[in-house]
Structure 1
Amino acid sequence: MGYSLRYRRRFLPRTLTDLSALVFMSVVIPAVYWFEVYVVAPTVYNQPLNILHTILGTYIVINIFGNFIAIIVVNTSTQGLLLPAQCVSAGTPGWHVCASCESTAPPRSRHCNTCRVCVLKKEHHCVFAGCCVGLANHRYFFIFLCLIYFFIFLCLMWVSTLYCSFLNACLSGPMWAASTCGQWFAWCCRRVAGVGAVPRHPLRLPLLHQRDGCLFMSVLVYYYTALLLTNTTTLENNTGKGNKHDHGRDYNLKVTLGERWYLTWVFPTLYSPLPCDGLEWSQRPAKTDKHKGK
Protein backbone atom coordinates (compact mmCIF):
# COMPACT_ATOMS: atom_id res chain seq x y z
CA MET A 1 0.00 0.00 0.00
CA GLY A 2 1.37 3.40 -0.96
CA TYR A 3 1.39 6.64 0.97
CA SER A 4 -0.99 9.52 0.19
CA LEU A 5 0.34 13.01 0.79
CA ARG A 6 -1.18 15.00 3.64
CA TYR A 7 -0.50 18.63 4.51
CA ARG A 8 0.19 20.31 7.81
CA ARG A 9 -2.20 22.84 9.31
CA ARG A 10 0.48 24.58 11.34
CA PHE A 11 3.48 25.78 9.34
CA LEU A 12 5.24 28.18 11.71
CA PRO A 13 8.14 26.82 13.79
CA ARG A 14 7.43 26.24 17.47
CA THR A 15 10.77 27.47 18.84
CA LEU A 16 12.76 30.67 18.44
CA THR A 17 15.77 28.69 17.24
CA ASP A 18 13.78 27.08 14.43
CA LEU A 19 12.20 30.40 13.48
CA SER A 20 15.59 32.13 13.35
CA ALA A 21 17.05 29.36 11.19
CA LEU A 22 14.04 29.48 8.86
CA VAL A 23 14.34 33.26 8.43
CA PHE A 24 18.09 32.95 7.89
CA MET A 25 17.62 30.38 5.13
CA SER A 26 14.83 32.41 3.51
CA VAL A 27 17.04 35.52 3.37
CA VAL A 28 20.45 34.05 2.54
CA ILE A 29 19.43 31.99 -0.51
CA PRO A 30 17.84 34.93 -2.43
CA ALA A 31 20.72 37.21 -1.40
CA VAL A 32 23.33 34.77 -2.70
CA TYR A 33 21.30 34.24 -5.87
CA TRP A 34 21.10 37.97 -6.57
CA PHE A 35 24.81 38.51 -5.89
CA GLU A 36 25.99 35.59 -8.01
CA VAL A 37 23.58 35.90 -10.94
CA TYR A 38 23.36 39.69 -11.28
CA VAL A 39 26.76 40.83 -9.98
CA VAL A 40 29.35 38.09 -10.47
CA ALA A 41 28.14 36.15 -13.51
CA PRO A 42 27.79 39.19 -15.86
CA THR A 43 31.38 40.13 -15.02
CA VAL A 44 32.71 36.64 -15.73
CA TYR A 45 30.80 35.62 -18.86
CA ASN A 46 29.81 37.25 -22.13
CA GLN A 47 26.17 37.88 -23.03
CA PRO A 48 25.14 34.41 -24.38
CA LEU A 49 26.81 32.53 -21.52
CA ASN A 50 25.49 35.03 -18.99
CA ILE A 51 21.92 34.40 -20.16
CA LEU A 52 22.49 30.65 -19.89
CA HIS A 53 23.87 30.94 -16.36
CA THR A 54 21.02 33.26 -15.36
CA ILE A 55 18.45 30.71 -16.54
CA LEU A 56 20.31 27.88 -14.80
CA GLY A 57 20.70 29.80 -11.54
CA THR A 58 17.05 30.90 -11.55
CA TYR A 59 15.83 27.34 -12.18
CA ILE A 60 17.98 25.95 -9.36
CA VAL A 61 16.84 28.56 -6.83
CA ILE A 62 13.15 28.10 -7.72
CA ASN A 63 13.65 24.35 -7.36
CA ILE A 64 15.41 24.86 -4.03
CA PHE A 65 12.57 26.95 -2.62
CA GLY A 66 9.98 24.56 -4.03
CA ASN A 67 11.50 21.62 -2.19
CA PHE A 68 12.07 23.77 0.91
CA ILE A 69 8.38 24.72 1.02
CA ALA A 70 7.41 21.07 0.46
CA ILE A 71 9.49 20.02 3.47
CA ILE A 72 7.50 22.45 5.59
CA VAL A 73 3.95 21.89 4.33
CA VAL A 74 3.92 18.10 3.87
CA ASN A 75 2.60 16.29 6.93
CA THR A 76 4.70 13.29 7.90
CA SER A 77 3.24 12.70 11.37
CA THR A 78 0.93 9.93 12.56
CA GLN A 79 -1.85 12.40 13.38
CA GLY A 80 -5.03 11.64 11.48
CA LEU A 81 -4.04 8.06 10.69
CA LEU A 82 -6.05 5.08 11.88
CA LEU A 83 -3.55 3.18 13.99
CA PRO A 84 -4.58 -0.30 15.15
CA ALA A 85 -4.32 -0.52 18.94
CA GLN A 86 -4.23 -4.31 18.92
CA CYS A 87 -0.81 -4.38 17.26
CA VAL A 88 0.91 -3.48 20.54
CA SER A 89 -1.03 -5.96 22.65
CA ALA A 90 -0.47 -8.65 20.05
CA GLY A 91 3.26 -8.07 20.18
CA THR A 92 3.64 -7.02 16.56
CA PRO A 93 7.36 -6.20 16.07
CA GLY A 94 8.14 -2.49 16.11
CA TRP A 95 4.75 -1.26 17.31
CA HIS A 96 4.86 0.63 20.58
CA VAL A 97 2.92 3.06 22.74
CA CYS A 98 3.89 6.73 22.69
CA ALA A 99 3.27 8.15 26.16
CA SER A 100 3.42 11.75 24.91
CA CYS A 101 0.86 11.25 22.14
CA GLU A 102 -1.12 8.71 24.22
CA SER A 103 -1.45 6.58 21.13
CA THR A 104 0.07 3.59 19.42
CA ALA A 105 2.97 4.23 17.08
CA PRO A 106 4.11 2.15 14.10
CA PRO A 107 7.61 0.77 13.58
CA ARG A 108 10.39 3.28 12.81
CA SER A 109 8.25 6.18 14.03
CA ARG A 110 9.61 8.39 16.82
CA HIS A 111 8.17 11.21 18.89
CA CYS A 112 9.54 14.72 18.37
CA ASN A 113 9.48 16.89 21.46
CA THR A 114 9.69 20.04 19.34
CA CYS A 115 6.92 19.20 16.86
CA ARG A 116 4.96 17.38 19.62
CA VAL A 117 3.93 14.56 17.30
CA CYS A 118 5.10 11.11 16.29
CA VAL A 119 6.77 11.11 12.88
CA LEU A 120 6.60 8.24 10.40
CA LYS A 121 10.09 6.91 9.71
CA LYS A 122 11.59 9.87 11.50
CA GLU A 123 14.90 10.95 9.97
CA HIS A 124 15.64 14.00 12.14
CA HIS A 125 14.27 17.38 13.15
CA CYS A 126 15.38 20.03 10.66
CA VAL A 127 15.84 23.39 12.39
CA PHE A 128 16.04 25.26 9.07
CA ALA A 129 12.57 24.05 8.08
CA GLY A 130 11.20 24.13 11.61
CA CYS A 131 9.77 20.62 11.29
CA CYS A 132 10.73 16.97 11.18
CA VAL A 133 11.97 15.09 8.15
CA GLY A 134 10.16 11.78 7.82
CA LEU A 135 8.67 9.37 5.33
CA ALA A 136 6.54 11.85 3.38
CA ASN A 137 8.98 14.76 3.05
CA HIS A 138 12.31 12.90 3.01
CA ARG A 139 12.37 13.17 -0.78
CA TYR A 140 12.11 16.96 -0.68
CA PHE A 141 14.78 17.25 2.00
CA PHE A 142 17.28 15.14 0.07
CA ILE A 143 16.72 16.95 -3.24
CA PHE A 144 16.89 20.29 -1.39
CA LEU A 145 20.23 19.26 0.08
CA CYS A 146 21.65 18.19 -3.30
CA LEU A 147 20.46 21.37 -5.01
CA ILE A 148 21.99 23.57 -2.30
CA TYR A 149 25.27 21.73 -2.78
CA PHE A 150 25.15 22.13 -6.56
CA PHE A 151 24.24 25.82 -6.30
CA ILE A 152 27.10 26.56 -3.88
CA PHE A 153 29.49 24.69 -6.17
CA LEU A 154 28.25 26.72 -9.14
CA CYS A 155 28.67 29.97 -7.19
CA LEU A 156 32.16 28.90 -6.17
CA MET A 157 33.08 28.43 -9.83
CA TRP A 158 31.81 31.91 -10.73
CA VAL A 159 33.54 33.69 -7.87
CA SER A 160 36.82 31.77 -8.21
CA THR A 161 36.95 32.55 -11.93
CA LEU A 162 36.49 36.26 -11.27
CA TYR A 163 38.94 36.23 -8.36
CA CYS A 164 41.58 34.48 -10.44
CA SER A 165 41.20 37.15 -13.10
CA PHE A 166 41.84 39.71 -10.37
CA LEU A 167 44.95 37.81 -9.23
CA ASN A 168 46.19 37.56 -12.78
CA ALA A 169 45.95 41.33 -13.13
CA CYS A 170 47.62 42.04 -9.78
CA LEU A 171 50.54 39.63 -9.76
CA SER A 172 53.67 40.42 -11.70
CA GLY A 173 55.43 37.80 -13.79
CA PRO A 174 54.08 35.01 -16.01
CA MET A 175 51.00 33.03 -14.95
CA TRP A 176 49.06 30.19 -16.48
CA ALA A 177 46.27 32.15 -18.11
CA ALA A 178 44.92 29.09 -19.90
CA SER A 179 43.40 27.50 -16.82
CA THR A 180 41.85 28.62 -13.57
CA CYS A 181 43.50 25.73 -11.74
CA GLY A 182 46.82 26.76 -13.20
CA GLN A 183 46.37 30.31 -11.93
CA TRP A 184 45.56 29.06 -8.45
CA PHE A 185 48.60 26.76 -8.45
CA ALA A 186 50.92 29.50 -9.67
CA TRP A 187 49.56 31.94 -7.09
CA CYS A 188 50.06 29.40 -4.27
CA CYS A 189 53.64 28.77 -5.38
CA ARG A 190 54.40 32.47 -5.41
CA ARG A 191 52.87 32.96 -1.97
CA VAL A 192 54.92 30.09 -0.52
CA ALA A 193 58.05 31.57 -2.06
CA GLY A 194 57.15 34.97 -0.59
CA VAL A 195 57.17 36.67 -3.97
CA GLY A 196 54.77 39.60 -4.33
CA ALA A 197 51.87 40.71 -2.19
CA VAL A 198 48.28 40.15 -3.26
CA PRO A 199 45.93 43.09 -2.61
CA ARG A 200 42.71 42.23 -0.80
CA HIS A 201 39.59 41.97 -2.89
CA PRO A 202 35.90 42.22 -1.88
CA LEU A 203 35.32 38.74 -3.34
CA ARG A 204 37.83 37.13 -1.02
CA LEU A 205 35.39 36.73 1.87
CA PRO A 206 32.54 35.28 -0.26
CA LEU A 207 35.06 32.95 -1.87
CA LEU A 208 36.21 31.60 1.49
CA HIS A 209 32.63 31.22 2.74
CA GLN A 210 31.58 29.37 -0.40
CA ARG A 211 34.62 27.11 -0.25
CA ASP A 212 33.83 26.16 3.35
CA GLY A 213 30.14 25.79 2.53
CA CYS A 214 30.93 23.51 -0.40
CA LEU A 215 33.12 21.29 1.78
CA PHE A 216 30.48 21.16 4.51
CA MET A 217 27.70 20.33 2.05
CA SER A 218 29.88 17.60 0.52
CA VAL A 219 29.98 15.87 3.89
CA LEU A 220 26.21 16.23 4.39
CA VAL A 221 25.34 14.95 0.91
CA TYR A 222 27.68 11.98 1.33
CA TYR A 223 26.25 11.14 4.77
CA TYR A 224 22.58 11.33 3.81
CA THR A 225 23.17 9.54 0.51
CA ALA A 226 24.77 6.64 2.37
CA LEU A 227 21.76 6.47 4.70
CA LEU A 228 19.32 6.68 1.79
CA LEU A 229 20.97 3.83 -0.12
CA THR A 230 20.68 1.53 2.91
CA ASN A 231 17.17 2.67 3.95
CA THR A 232 18.51 3.78 7.33
CA THR A 233 17.53 6.79 9.42
CA THR A 234 19.93 8.94 11.41
CA LEU A 235 18.64 7.56 14.71
CA GLU A 236 18.97 3.96 13.52
CA ASN A 237 22.48 4.65 12.32
CA ASN A 238 23.52 6.34 15.58
CA THR A 239 22.09 3.54 17.73
CA GLY A 240 23.57 0.74 15.64
CA LYS A 241 20.17 -0.46 14.40
CA GLY A 242 20.78 0.30 10.75
CA ASN A 243 20.51 -1.97 7.69
CA LYS A 244 17.56 -3.92 9.10
CA HIS A 245 15.32 -2.56 6.34
CA ASP A 246 17.89 -2.64 3.55
CA HIS A 247 16.28 -4.41 0.58
CA GLY A 248 18.63 -3.30 -2.17
CA ARG A 249 19.41 0.08 -3.66
CA ASP A 250 16.53 0.12 -6.13
CA TYR A 251 13.90 -0.40 -3.44
CA ASN A 252 15.68 1.88 -0.98
CA LEU A 253 15.67 4.71 -3.51
CA LYS A 254 11.94 4.24 -4.09
CA VAL A 255 11.19 4.26 -0.34
CA THR A 256 12.66 7.77 -0.07
CA LEU A 257 12.26 9.32 -3.53
CA GLY A 258 9.28 7.39 -4.85
CA GLU A 259 8.68 5.14 -7.84
CA ARG A 260 9.92 7.82 -10.24
CA TRP A 261 13.02 8.58 -8.20
CA TYR A 262 15.11 9.35 -11.29
CA LEU A 263 12.89 12.38 -12.11
CA THR A 264 12.40 13.90 -8.65
CA TRP A 265 15.20 16.40 -9.20
CA VAL A 266 13.23 18.07 -12.03
CA PHE A 267 10.66 19.78 -9.80
CA PRO A 268 9.03 19.10 -6.42
CA THR A 269 5.51 18.89 -7.87
CA LEU A 270 6.46 15.92 -10.05
CA TYR A 271 4.39 12.89 -9.03
CA SER A 272 6.45 10.07 -7.54
CA PRO A 273 4.37 7.80 -5.25
CA LEU A 274 5.97 5.98 -2.35
CA PRO A 275 5.74 2.17 -2.35
CA CYS A 276 4.87 1.92 1.37
CA ASP A 277 2.50 3.56 3.85
CA GLY A 278 4.96 3.83 6.75
CA LEU A 279 2.93 1.55 9.01
CA GLU A 280 4.43 -1.79 8.05
CA TRP A 281 8.12 -2.41 7.46
CA SER A 282 9.61 -5.71 6.41
CA GLN A 283 13.02 -6.49 7.84
CA ARG A 284 15.88 -8.10 6.03
CA PRO A 285 16.33 -11.74 7.07
CA ALA A 286 19.03 -12.12 9.69
CA LYS A 287 22.22 -13.75 8.52
CA THR A 288 22.63 -17.22 9.93
CA ASP A 289 25.95 -18.43 11.21
CA LYS A 290 27.23 -21.04 8.78
CA HIS A 291 29.51 -22.54 11.43
CA LYS A 292 26.73 -22.88 13.99
CA GLY A 293 26.15 -26.45 15.05
CA LYS A 294 29.40 -27.76 13.60
Structure 2
Amino acid sequence: MGYSIRFRKRFMPRSFADLSAMVFMLLAIPSVYWFEVYVVGPTIYNRTLNILHVIVGTYMVINIIGNFMAVIAVDTSTQGLVLPSQVPPGWHVCANCESTAPPRSRHCITCNACVMKKEHHCIFTGCCVGLGNHRYFYIFLFLMWGSTLYCSFLNSFFIWPYVGGFNMWAFVRLVLPGVWLLLEPSLDTLYAFLFSINVIGFLFMSVLMYYYTGLLIMNMTTHENNHRKGQKYDHGREHNIKVTLGERWYWTWVFPTLSSPLPYDGLDWSLQSGEKSVRPKTK
Protein backbone atom coordinates (compact mmCIF):
# COMPACT_ATOMS: atom_id res chain seq x y z
CA MET A 1 0.00 0.00 0.00
CA GLY A 2 1.32 3.43 -0.95
CA TYR A 3 1.07 6.66 0.96
CA SER A 4 -2.30 8.44 1.08
CA ILE A 5 -2.07 12.21 1.40
CA ARG A 6 -3.67 13.71 4.50
CA PHE A 7 -3.92 17.41 5.31
CA ARG A 8 -3.07 19.14 8.54
CA LYS A 9 -5.83 20.66 10.64
CA ARG A 10 -3.53 23.32 12.03
CA PHE A 11 -1.50 25.39 9.57
CA MET A 12 -0.16 28.09 11.86
CA PRO A 13 3.29 27.57 13.42
CA ARG A 14 3.41 26.67 17.08
CA SER A 15 6.41 28.84 18.00
CA PHE A 16 7.24 32.52 17.53
CA ALA A 17 10.52 31.66 15.80
CA ASP A 18 8.70 29.51 13.24
CA LEU A 19 6.08 32.20 12.68
CA SER A 20 8.73 34.87 12.16
CA ALA A 21 10.62 32.72 9.65
CA MET A 22 7.44 31.88 7.76
CA VAL A 23 6.39 35.54 7.56
CA PHE A 24 9.87 36.43 6.28
CA MET A 25 9.59 33.86 3.49
CA LEU A 26 6.07 34.96 2.54
CA LEU A 27 7.28 38.56 2.29
CA ALA A 28 10.67 37.89 0.69
CA ILE A 29 9.47 35.72 -2.20
CA PRO A 30 6.92 38.18 -3.67
CA SER A 31 9.25 41.13 -2.95
CA VAL A 32 12.07 39.58 -4.94
CA TYR A 33 9.61 38.66 -7.69
CA TRP A 34 8.47 42.29 -7.91
CA PHE A 35 12.07 43.47 -7.99
CA GLU A 36 13.09 41.08 -10.78
CA VAL A 37 9.99 41.51 -12.95
CA TYR A 38 9.22 45.23 -12.58
CA VAL A 39 12.65 46.73 -11.88
CA VAL A 40 15.52 44.56 -13.12
CA GLY A 41 13.96 42.95 -16.19
CA PRO A 42 12.91 46.14 -18.02
CA THR A 43 16.34 47.65 -17.32
CA ILE A 44 18.44 44.70 -18.55
CA TYR A 45 16.37 43.10 -21.31
CA ASN A 46 14.78 44.29 -24.52
CA ARG A 47 11.00 44.03 -24.87
CA THR A 48 10.93 40.46 -26.25
CA LEU A 49 13.33 39.02 -23.70
CA ASN A 50 11.58 40.89 -20.90
CA ILE A 51 8.23 39.30 -21.83
CA LEU A 52 9.89 35.88 -21.65
CA HIS A 53 11.50 36.90 -18.36
CA VAL A 54 8.09 37.83 -16.92
CA ILE A 55 6.42 34.60 -18.09
CA VAL A 56 9.13 32.32 -16.74
CA GLY A 57 9.43 34.34 -13.53
CA THR A 58 5.68 34.20 -12.89
CA TYR A 59 5.60 30.44 -13.47
CA MET A 60 8.55 29.95 -11.13
CA VAL A 61 7.13 32.02 -8.29
CA ILE A 62 3.76 30.25 -8.51
CA ASN A 63 5.53 26.89 -8.47
CA ILE A 64 7.74 27.93 -5.54
CA ILE A 65 4.84 29.22 -3.44
CA GLY A 66 2.74 26.17 -4.39
CA ASN A 67 5.38 23.76 -3.13
CA PHE A 68 5.98 25.91 -0.05
CA MET A 69 2.27 25.81 0.84
CA ALA A 70 2.13 22.07 0.13
CA VAL A 71 4.88 21.47 2.70
CA ILE A 72 2.71 23.28 5.24
CA ALA A 73 -0.60 21.65 4.24
CA VAL A 74 0.36 17.96 4.08
CA ASP A 75 0.17 16.07 7.38
CA THR A 76 3.25 13.91 7.92
CA SER A 77 2.41 12.75 11.45
CA THR A 78 0.99 9.46 12.68
CA GLN A 79 -1.93 11.24 14.34
CA GLY A 80 -5.27 9.88 13.14
CA LEU A 81 -3.77 6.60 11.91
CA VAL A 82 -4.79 3.22 13.29
CA LEU A 83 -1.62 1.92 14.93
CA PRO A 84 -1.09 -1.55 16.44
CA SER A 85 -1.33 -1.87 20.21
CA GLN A 86 1.59 -4.31 20.29
CA VAL A 87 5.05 -3.40 19.02
CA PRO A 88 5.73 -5.05 15.63
CA PRO A 89 9.31 -5.89 14.55
CA GLY A 90 11.25 -2.71 13.80
CA TRP A 91 8.71 -0.45 15.55
CA HIS A 92 9.19 1.35 18.85
CA VAL A 93 7.11 2.97 21.56
CA CYS A 94 6.93 6.76 21.70
CA ALA A 95 6.72 7.84 25.33
CA ASN A 96 5.47 11.32 24.38
CA CYS A 97 2.59 10.05 22.23
CA GLU A 98 2.06 6.99 24.46
CA SER A 99 1.66 4.92 21.32
CA THR A 100 3.56 2.63 19.01
CA ALA A 101 5.56 4.35 16.27
CA PRO A 102 6.61 2.91 12.88
CA PRO A 103 10.19 2.52 11.67
CA ARG A 104 11.96 5.73 10.63
CA SER A 105 9.47 7.89 12.55
CA ARG A 106 10.61 10.30 15.24
CA HIS A 107 8.80 12.50 17.68
CA CYS A 108 8.90 16.28 17.18
CA ILE A 109 8.61 18.31 20.35
CA THR A 110 7.53 21.44 18.50
CA CYS A 111 4.80 19.71 16.47
CA ASN A 112 3.97 17.43 19.43
CA ALA A 113 3.59 14.41 17.16
CA CYS A 114 5.49 11.48 15.70
CA VAL A 115 6.44 12.16 12.08
CA MET A 116 6.74 9.37 9.52
CA LYS A 117 10.25 9.26 7.98
CA LYS A 118 11.04 12.50 9.74
CA GLU A 119 13.69 14.51 7.92
CA HIS A 120 13.73 17.60 10.15
CA HIS A 121 11.57 20.33 11.58
CA CYS A 122 11.59 23.22 9.10
CA ILE A 123 11.52 26.61 10.80
CA PHE A 124 10.48 28.40 7.59
CA THR A 125 7.30 26.34 7.16
CA GLY A 126 6.63 25.88 10.86
CA CYS A 127 6.19 22.12 10.48
CA CYS A 128 8.11 18.90 10.03
CA VAL A 129 9.37 17.58 6.72
CA GLY A 130 8.50 13.90 6.52
CA LEU A 131 7.35 11.21 4.13
CA GLY A 132 4.28 13.01 2.82
CA ASN A 133 5.74 16.46 2.14
CA HIS A 134 9.43 15.68 1.52
CA ARG A 135 8.79 15.91 -2.22
CA TYR A 136 7.44 19.44 -1.95
CA PHE A 137 10.25 20.55 0.35
CA TYR A 138 12.98 19.27 -1.96
CA ILE A 139 11.45 20.77 -5.11
CA PHE A 140 10.87 24.06 -3.30
CA LEU A 141 14.54 23.99 -2.34
CA PHE A 142 15.64 23.19 -5.89
CA LEU A 143 13.50 25.92 -7.45
CA MET A 144 14.69 28.46 -4.90
CA TRP A 145 18.29 27.49 -5.61
CA GLY A 146 17.85 27.85 -9.38
CA SER A 147 15.93 31.10 -9.04
CA THR A 148 18.41 32.75 -6.69
CA LEU A 149 21.29 31.66 -8.94
CA TYR A 150 19.65 33.25 -11.98
CA CYS A 151 18.62 36.40 -10.10
CA SER A 152 22.05 36.88 -8.55
CA PHE A 153 23.69 36.66 -11.96
CA LEU A 154 21.15 39.00 -13.58
CA ASN A 155 21.22 41.50 -10.73
CA SER A 156 25.01 41.79 -10.87
CA PHE A 157 24.58 43.73 -14.14
CA PHE A 158 21.90 45.92 -12.62
CA ILE A 159 23.04 46.93 -9.16
CA TRP A 160 26.45 48.62 -9.54
CA PRO A 161 25.23 52.04 -10.75
CA TYR A 162 22.97 52.23 -7.68
CA VAL A 163 25.78 51.56 -5.20
CA GLY A 164 28.32 53.91 -6.77
CA GLY A 165 30.10 51.54 -9.13
CA PHE A 166 32.45 48.65 -8.48
CA ASN A 167 34.54 49.65 -5.44
CA MET A 168 35.25 48.63 -1.86
CA TRP A 169 32.56 50.89 -0.36
CA ALA A 170 29.95 49.41 -2.67
CA PHE A 171 31.07 45.93 -1.64
CA VAL A 172 30.70 46.81 2.05
CA ARG A 173 27.22 48.17 1.40
CA LEU A 174 26.19 44.93 -0.28
CA VAL A 175 27.69 42.77 2.47
CA LEU A 176 25.78 44.73 5.15
CA PRO A 177 22.56 45.56 3.33
CA GLY A 178 20.34 45.69 6.41
CA VAL A 179 22.57 48.22 8.18
CA TRP A 180 22.81 50.37 5.07
CA LEU A 181 19.04 50.28 4.61
CA LEU A 182 18.53 51.54 8.17
CA LEU A 183 21.18 54.28 7.91
CA GLU A 184 20.28 55.51 4.43
CA PRO A 185 16.71 54.45 3.61
CA SER A 186 16.11 55.02 -0.09
CA LEU A 187 15.11 53.18 -3.26
CA ASP A 188 18.77 52.59 -4.07
CA THR A 189 19.44 50.94 -0.73
CA LEU A 190 16.28 48.85 -1.10
CA TYR A 191 17.56 47.57 -4.45
CA ALA A 192 20.91 46.76 -2.87
CA PHE A 193 19.14 44.98 -0.01
CA LEU A 194 17.15 42.80 -2.43
CA PHE A 195 20.30 42.06 -4.40
CA SER A 196 22.05 40.88 -1.23
CA ILE A 197 19.03 38.80 -0.20
CA ASN A 198 19.32 36.94 -3.51
CA VAL A 199 23.05 36.30 -3.13
CA ILE A 200 22.73 35.19 0.50
CA GLY A 201 19.76 33.02 -0.47
CA PHE A 202 21.74 31.40 -3.26
CA LEU A 203 24.68 30.57 -0.98
CA PHE A 204 22.34 29.20 1.70
CA MET A 205 20.33 27.16 -0.81
CA SER A 206 23.52 25.77 -2.38
CA VAL A 207 24.61 24.29 0.94
CA LEU A 208 21.15 22.83 1.58
CA MET A 209 20.88 21.42 -1.96
CA TYR A 210 24.23 19.69 -1.65
CA TYR A 211 23.33 18.19 1.72
CA TYR A 212 19.74 17.11 1.06
CA THR A 213 20.48 15.78 -2.44
CA GLY A 214 23.09 13.49 -0.92
CA LEU A 215 20.54 12.20 1.59
CA LEU A 216 17.84 11.79 -1.06
CA ILE A 217 19.89 9.58 -3.39
CA MET A 218 20.91 7.41 -0.41
CA ASN A 219 17.35 7.25 1.01
CA MET A 220 18.47 8.58 4.38
CA THR A 221 17.17 11.19 6.79
CA THR A 222 19.35 13.62 8.71
CA HIS A 223 18.93 11.62 11.92
CA GLU A 224 19.81 8.34 10.18
CA ASN A 225 22.85 9.92 8.57
CA ASN A 226 24.08 11.38 11.86
CA HIS A 227 23.66 8.03 13.62
CA ARG A 228 24.75 5.89 10.65
CA LYS A 229 21.43 4.03 10.53
CA GLY A 230 20.23 4.78 7.02
CA GLN A 231 22.28 2.41 4.86
CA LYS A 232 19.81 -0.47 5.37
CA TYR A 233 17.12 1.42 3.41
CA ASP A 234 19.34 2.03 0.37
CA HIS A 235 17.95 0.13 -2.65
CA GLY A 236 19.72 2.01 -5.42
CA ARG A 237 19.50 5.55 -6.74
CA GLU A 238 16.34 5.16 -8.86
CA HIS A 239 14.38 3.50 -6.06
CA ASN A 240 15.65 6.01 -3.51
CA ILE A 241 14.54 8.96 -5.63
CA LYS A 242 11.06 7.46 -5.88
CA VAL A 243 10.85 7.13 -2.09
CA THR A 244 10.95 10.92 -1.86
CA LEU A 245 9.61 12.22 -5.19
CA GLY A 246 7.25 9.36 -6.04
CA GLU A 247 6.82 6.97 -8.95
CA ARG A 248 6.32 9.85 -11.40
CA TRP A 249 9.24 11.86 -10.07
CA TYR A 250 9.97 13.33 -13.51
CA TRP A 251 6.61 15.20 -13.42
CA THR A 252 6.89 16.55 -9.89
CA TRP A 253 9.05 19.46 -11.06
CA VAL A 254 6.31 20.79 -13.33
CA PHE A 255 3.73 21.68 -10.67
CA PRO A 256 2.97 20.58 -7.09
CA THR A 257 -0.59 19.41 -7.89
CA LEU A 258 0.60 16.69 -10.30
CA SER A 259 0.20 13.22 -8.82
CA SER A 260 3.27 11.11 -8.05
CA PRO A 261 2.36 8.18 -5.73
CA LEU A 262 4.92 7.18 -3.11
CA PRO A 263 5.91 3.49 -2.95
CA TYR A 264 5.64 3.30 0.86
CA ASP A 265 2.92 4.20 3.33
CA GLY A 266 5.34 5.11 6.11
CA LEU A 267 4.33 2.18 8.30
CA ASP A 268 6.27 -0.59 6.54
CA TRP A 269 9.76 -0.38 5.06
CA SER A 270 11.72 -3.01 3.16
CA LEU A 271 15.38 -3.40 4.02
CA GLN A 272 18.39 -4.15 1.85
CA SER A 273 18.70 -7.59 0.23
CA GLY A 274 19.89 -10.20 2.66
CA GLU A 275 18.44 -8.44 5.69
CA LYS A 276 15.20 -9.12 7.49
CA SER A 277 12.32 -7.04 6.12
CA VAL A 278 9.98 -4.99 8.28
CA ARG A 279 6.50 -6.28 7.59
CA PRO A 280 7.07 -6.72 3.82
CA LYS A 281 4.47 -5.25 1.51
CA THR A 282 2.09 -7.30 -0.54
CA LYS A 283 1.53 -6.19 -4.10
TM-score by length of 2: 0.85
Q: Does 1:153 align with 2:149?
A: yes
Q: CA deviation at 1:286?
A: 6.6
Partner Cα separation in structure 2 for residue 85 and residue 139 of structure 1: 30
Counterpart of 1:138 in structure 2 is 134
1:63-91, Cα deviation, whole Å (9 max, x unpaired): 011001100111111011111223x1x5x
> In the alignment, which of 125, 129, 137 is matched to residue 125 of structure 2?
129
Give the secondary structure class of the aligned counterpart of 2:232.
coil
> What is the CA-CA distance between 1:212 and the residue it aligns to?
2.8
- Count of matched residue positions in the alignment of Structure 1 and Structure 2: 257
Which SS does the other structure have where 1:43 is aligned? helix
The equivalences for 1:176-255 within 5 A come to: 202=189, 203-255=191-243
Question: What secondary structure sits across from 2:144 in the alignment?
Answer: helix
| Structure 2 counterpart of 1:179 | none
2:276 paired with 1:280 = no
* Distance (whole Å) between structure 1 residues aligned to residue 212 and residue 253 of structure 2: 16
Query: Which ranges of 4 or more aligned residues in structure 1 deviate by more than 4 Å?
Result: 200-205
1:132-175 CA-to-partner distances (Å, cap 9, x unmatched) read 000000000000001111111121122112246x49xx88xxxx
Deviation of 1:219 (Å): 1.0
Instruction: Give, in angstroms, the shift of residue 204 of structure 1.
Output: 4.5
C-alpha RMSD over aligned residues: 2.2
Once residues 267 and 48 of structure 2 are traced to their aligned partners in structure 1, the CA distance between those partners, rounded to angstroms, is 52
| Number of the residue aligned with 2:281 | none
Mapped contact 2:32–2:194 kept (Cα < 8 A): no
Deviation, 1:242, is 2.4
Matching of residue 99 in structure 1 with residue 87 in structure 2: no
Which structure 1 residue ranges, 5 or more long, are not aligned?
172-186, 288-294
1:292 is matched with none
Residue identity over aligned pairs, in percent, reads: 62
Larger displacement relative to structure 2 (205-214 or 261-270): 205-214
Distance in 2, matches of 1:126 and 1:65, equals 15
Partner Cα distance (1:13, 1:45) in 2: 40
Give 1:2 deviation, angstroms: 0.5
Structure 2, gaps ≥5 residues long: 174-187, 276-283
Contact 2:118 2:129 in 1 (8 A): yes
2:44 corresponds in structure 1 to 44
The one-letter amino acid paired with 2:7 is Y
204-213 or 38-47, larger mean C-alpha shift: 204-213
State the Cα distance separating 1:207 from its structure 2 match. Answer: 3.5
Q: Which residue of 2 aligns with 1:28?
A: 28
Structure 1 Cα separation of the partners of residues 38 and 75 of structure 2: 36
Amino acid at match of 1:3: Y
C-alpha distance in 2 between matches for 1:31 and 1:211? 15
Aligned partner of 1:63 in structure 2 is: 63
Aligned residue for 1:232, secondary structure, equals: coil
Letter in 2 for 1:57: G
CA gap 1:206/1:8 in 2 versus in 1, 3 angstroms = closer
Q: Distance in 1 between matches of 2:152 and 2:250?
A: 26
The amino acid across from 1:142 in the alignment is: Y
What is the TM-score of this pair, normalised by structure 1?
0.82
Q: Which structure has the larger Rg?
A: 1
Residue type of the alignment partner of 1:53? H
**In structure 1, distance between residues paired with 2:74 and 2:34:** 28
Distance 1:34 1:212 in 2: 18
Q: Offset of 1:285 from its aligned partner?
A: 4.2
Q: Deviations over 1:6-33 (max 9, x none)?
A: 1111111111111111111111111111
